[in-house]
Amino acid sequence: MLAENKPDYLPVNPNLVRIQHSSGKWTISPLPGEKVKVEYELEVDPGGILPPAIVNMFSYDGPFRSFKKLPERVKMAEYANVHLPFIKD
């Protein structure tokens, strides 16, 4: 699944730096034993005045937290019987 950002989705806020470029790709593959392999690639240019080296130091935090909470989220009742057309068995 591919994910692209929409920098103009919300009105400009002079107090925030909006990410102008972001591109992500999720690849989820089944594994034996009712497990899955999840690969996530993300390319981001946050803009603003921070140097890329500083941004890169913190760029893993969001995806890491998302993946850490994923097992508990997929067990929630609202996801129990969801079937999405882009998921292929």
Percentage with pLDDT > 90 across the chain: 2
* Side chain identity at residue 45, one-letter code: D
Q: How far apart are CA 69 and CA 16, in angstroms?
A: 27
Q: How far apart are CA 12 and CA 4, in angstroms?
A: 19
User: pLDDT for 41-56, tens place per residue?
Assistant: 888 777 778 887 887 7
| 88, pLDDT greater than 70 | no
60 falls in which pLDDT band (50, 70, 90)? confident
Position 1 scores a pLDDT of: 66
* Side chain identity at residue 59, one-letter code: S
Q: What is the pTM of this model?
A: 0.55
| 78, pLDDT greater than 80 | yes
Q: Which residue has the higher pLDDT, 10 or 80?
A: 10
